[in-house]
Structure 1
Amino acid sequence: MAQLWGGRFTKQTDQLVFDFNASITFDKRLFHEDVTGSIVHATMLAKQGILTEEERKSIVEGLTGILEDVDDGTLAIDETQEDIHSFVEATLIDRIGDAGKKLHTGRSRNDQVALDMRLYTRARVAEIDGLLKKLLEAILDTMENNLDTYMPGFTHLQKAQPITLAHHYGAYFEMFKRDRQRLTDIYKRMNYCPLGAGALAGTTYPLDREYTARLLRFEGPTLNSIDSVADRDYLIEFLSALSTIMMHLSRFSEEIIIWNSNEYQFVELDDAYSTGSSIMPQKKNPDIAELVRGKTGRVYGALMALLTTMKGLPLAYNKDMQEDKEMAFDAMDTAADCITLFTGMIQTMKFRKDRMAKSAMNGFTNATDAADYLVGKGVPFRDAHGIIGRLVLYCIEKDTSIDALSLEELHSISDKFDEDIYDAISLKTCVEKRLTIGAPGEKMMKQVIEKNKEYLKNDAIEEYQQSLEDRLS
């Protein structure tokens, strides 16, 4: 296969070297971006008088035809070509002749691939943001329907204080909301066009890089041609954001796995999101949650691989940077699949509210409130803390809970207890009297839910895109 760069060489590349060097098996997914960038590049060249209008028309029609033929299956991407850029250009020349040979004027594969990868990544950032929005909508729906679903809150995996399922889910809402904010920041920061940087030092042709950037819906052109082709910060940032998203999904999955266990029985997973055992007929395994948890390491691996690849590269472009694609593509696909499946899983999951409430009562989650009760009776907090500690020990020895004790038993520990202790340490009271913003009390949770609804009415990336469109028009 003839390469686009063969003039300098006197013999063919060894086949093993060619195969090792080639990237078309994975960079073929940049096909649409490559054609889009090429159409814009040809349009700009004609505007600048570098191509004639007839040449521009022939090139654009040729590229459009290639795009349509690949999309409808009448043309297969030739994987004997070195990369997707070579395939597009060679096919174009084959179809329209010498005019196709002028497409690459003022352009290097270095800035071409930098553009393709940036366009592709930009689209995936917006896609992941949209998937997270659907996940947040599912979380918010659960919050709204479980304001009075009481459960234990945990520290150190030990039952700590009573909360509601709405409050617990609200913690994940905040996590995924921050993830979306990170994606918006990445989208804006990466939205500058490298095309026109050439190999590293620009070009002598009178390109209009601002025009190219505008047609591709970028803020503007990149301002240093070396950095334009050597930069993969935006991809590292995206992989870092995906890693954080996966970490949040993994933590959530871990809790669902625990809640699904026989020991907890807080949730019942839908059959569509579970599997059985080939030998144990009673099993119903939380495979989706486990796989999400497991695939987190896969996404982490892509981030660490790219960081390691980039850490010792001198300026400007180096072939090492071809390694930015395969694992990055895999990480993007993995994260998208995990968010989608996880959303479906939590939308179909049923909650055992009775088990949750019973677990909260049996775990002494109202012990702090019992201590606060004594403080209200004039007992110093440190003394109250000790009294309730002895009360908990008594309950453990009797295998019971604080609210199940008789007033006589309570008096054996402290004469400060009265009949009103039972209402003071009920789950409803323990939760409802927590009325600071961010706490699980129903009044505060309703305020938070309304704020979250308002947040979901807006889409930061879409708003930015519309704002940019208005400015460019």
Structure 2
Amino acid sequence: MTKKKNNKLLSTSINKKTSSLMEDFNSSIDVDQRLIEEDILVTQAHVSALEKLKVISKNEEKKIHQGLNGILNDYQKGKIKFSKKNEDIHMNVEYFLHQRIGDIALKIHTGRSRNDQVATDTRLWTKKSSKEIQELIKMVMHSILYQANKHQETIIPGFTHLQIAQPLSLAHHLLAYLEMFKRDLEYFDFSIYGADENVLGSAALAGSNYQLDQNLLNKKLGFSKSKQNSMDGVSDRDFCMYFLHACTMTSIHLGKLASELILWSSNLAGLFDVHSEYSTGSSIMPQKRNPDSLELIRSKANIIRSKSQEFSNIISNLPLTYFKDFQEDKKIIFDCFDELSICLNVMSDVIKKSHFNKKIGVELCETNFATATDLADYLVIEKNIPFRKSYKTIAEIVQFALNNKMKLSEISLKEFQKFEKSIDSNIYQYIDVKKSLARKKTNMSTNPKEVSKKIRKFQKFLK
């Protein structure tokens, strides 16, 4: 009679056999298999620390390292089949290693716990993933910078309350997003800093009974320091919150950009044409192209923002130290990373390939009196009229233009002088939409010279 093969390395309970339902419910391998690379790196570092203590021999260390490398190689080739019976990535890796090298594999868990193991794995993943997101953010920034450089002379209306307000260069508008995404890069720097503490040596909660070389572990795993308190080490998930908060801020900026481009692509605005690769047709209306890519980014941005709340719901009010609740944390950060990554990839391509309308902006500014503030300043600067009085005068002029369906440039000098006798022909210089930009004085303004400086600054930053 053939003995049935046991694909479970060991039981994690001294009690009776758990039910198959509980095994399935308790298993996290469907999610945390994503940590296989980190788990193998952590195990290899731990094994090297054990070898230094002579807990295992040099030859055993070599066999373990080779076995772990083989497991990772097989995983990358799609040859690994995980088992829920082994619960999680840690026990699955240990099981695979035991199948390869025999009982030497049973030594690798000496002096550690899955508690400090998973915390260290997750920190490594968070550091790596933060850096990957940063590269994707830079890719979006490159696309925006490409369009900003191309559209330094393209004039569009700036909006407040979705009402046309003042003339801007399209480049200046786009540069605002580069400032936002630059802050996001800094937020992910903080996420990396927050994750940059090695938990190994904490064991289950009280610390390890083995004098594991912290400098060796940190050097092998790329940490700058180790945790100072073992209980904090195994229970701390603040670094995950930092990562989720950084993702949240990036998603807010993506959603803002997506919303604007959706509005601009509307027939009512006509400022932006979404590239055909990223728009779709209607099932019934043959004339339509819908900005589905941007609408999905906007929706996914809201989902990403909810992840930090989901995560805080898991970790809130938990006493020290480790609880099974933490098993649910990884799905949240993985999902957040996946959603944000695809949004950044799509946005980068949409911005790079789509078309901004160069012609319509000036017309929108002129027909909606976007230089009215310039006219108020004309009366202040050239006629020494207090701003509140000049404001009222120009408001009356704008109402006159509206009533007569005229642009400001179509009002005659005599008609202007009915509202204020001191007005002279210089007022037409202030009506000119193109000259409005150059009239701005502050270094953060839409003045073309300042915009050009900012473009050069970001070109240097992203080089």
Q: Same fold (TM over 0.5)?
A: yes
In structure 2, C-alpha distance between the alignment counterparts of 1:359 and 1:6, rounded to whole Å? 70
Tell me the residue number matched to 1:286. 291
Tell me the residue number matched to 1:53. 58
With over 3 angstroms needed to count, the CA separation of the structure-2 counterparts of 1:426 and 1:2, relative to structure 1, is: same
Give the counterpart of 1:117 among 113, 122, 126. Answer: 122
In structure 2, C-alpha distance between the alignment counterparts of 1:3 and 1:306, rounded to whole Å? 31
Give the conservation status (yes or no) of the 8 Å contact 2:27–2:84: no
Give the counterpart of 1:421 among 427, 440, 450. Answer: 427
CA deviations 1:276-313 (Å, max 9, x no partner) are 11111111000111001001121122110111111110
In structure 1, C-alpha distance between the alignment counterparts of 2:34 and 2:346, rounded to whole Å? 23
Q: SS at the partner of 1:76?
A: coil
In structure 2, C-alpha distance between the alignment counterparts of 1:60 and 1:211, rounded to whole Å? 16
Tell me the residue number matched to 2:3. none
CA deviations 1:104-156 (Å, max 9, x no partner) are 11110111111111111111000000111111111122222212111111111
In structure 1, C-alpha distance between the alignment counterparts of 2:249 and 2:224, rounded to whole Å? 27
Q: Quick check: 1:301 aligned with 2:319?
A: no
| Percent of residue pairs bearing the same amino acid type | 38
In structure 1, C-alpha distance between the alignment counterparts of 2:306 and 2:25, rounded to whole Å? 22
Give the conservation status (yes or no) of the 8 Å contact 1:435–1:444: no
Q: Quick check: 1:379 aligned with 2:391?
A: no
With over 3 angstroms needed to count, the CA separation of the structure-2 counterparts of 1:356 and 1:90, relative to structure 1, is: same
In structure 2, C-alpha distance between the alignment counterparts of 1:332 and 1:301, rounded to whole Å? 13
Q: CA deviation at 1:7?
A: 5.5
Q: Quick check: 1:21 aligned with 2:21?
A: no
Deviates more, 1:98-107 or 1:11-20: 11-20
Give the counterpart of 1:446 among 447, 452, 456. Answer: 452
Q: SS at the partner of 1:325?
A: helix
Letter in 2 for 1:308: N
Q: CA deviation at 1:79?
A: 4.2
Q: CA deviation at 1:416?
A: 2.2
Match runs of 1:73-222 below 5 Å: 73-222=78-227
In structure 1, C-alpha distance between the alignment counterparts of 2:249 and 2:70, rounded to whole Å? 41
Deviates more, 1:120-129 or 1:395-404: 395-404
Q: CA deviation at 1:5?
A: 4.1
In structure 1, C-alpha distance between the alignment counterparts of 2:41 and 2:115, rounded to whole Å? 16
Give the counterpart of 2:71 among 66, 70, 92. Answer: 66
Letter in 2 for 1:204: N
Give the conservation status (yes or no) of the 8 Å contact 2:28–2:84: no
In structure 2, C-alpha distance between the alignment counterparts of 1:61 and 1:92, rounded to whole Å? 10
In structure 1, C-alpha distance between the alignment counterparts of 2:144 and 2:458, rounded to whole Å? 10
Q: SS at the partner of 2:281?
A: coil
Tell me the residue number matched to 1:410. 416
In structure 2, C-alpha distance between the alignment counterparts of 1:111 and 1:444, rounded to whole Å? 52
Give the conservation status (yes or no) of the 8 Å contact 1:153–1:162: yes
Q: CA deviation at 1:233?
A: 0.5
Give the conservation status (yes or no) of the 8 Å contact 2:279–2:290: yes
Letter in 1 for 2:403: E
Give the counterpart of 2:403 among 397, 401, 422. Answer: 397
Q: Quick check: 1:455 aligned with 2:450?
A: no
Q: SS at the partner of 2:158?
A: strand
CA deviations 1:389-439 (Å, max 9, x no partner) are 100111111122212212232222222222222122211111101121110
CA deviations 1:150-174 (Å, max 9, x no partner) are 1111111111111110111111111
Letter in 1 for 2:440: R
Tell me the residue number matched to 1:244. 249
Q: What is the number of equivalent residue pairs in this alignment? A: 456
Give ranges in structure 1 of 5+ residues lacking alignment: 458-473
CA deviations 1:43-84 (Å, max 9, x no partner) are 111112111112111111111111111212233333443111
Q: SS at the partner of 1:143?
A: helix
Give the conservation status (yes or no) of the 8 Å contact 2:254–2:297: yes
State the Cα RMSD in Å: 1.3
TM-score (norm 1): 0.94
In structure 1, C-alpha distance between the alignment counterparts of 2:175 and 2:404, rounded to whole Å? 36
In structure 1, C-alpha distance between the alignment counterparts of 2:379 and 2:75, rounded to whole Å? 76
In structure 1, C-alpha distance between the alignment counterparts of 2:448 and 2:75, rounded to whole Å? 56
Letter in 1 for 2:78: G
With over 3 angstroms needed to count, the CA separation of the structure-2 counterparts of 1:252 and 1:6, relative to structure 1, is: closer
Q: SS at the partner of 1:223?
A: coil
Give the conservation status (yes or no) of the 8 Å contact 1:213–1:221: yes
In structure 2, C-alpha distance between the alignment counterparts of 1:61 and 1:84, rounded to whole Å? 18
Q: SS at the partner of 1:222?
A: coil
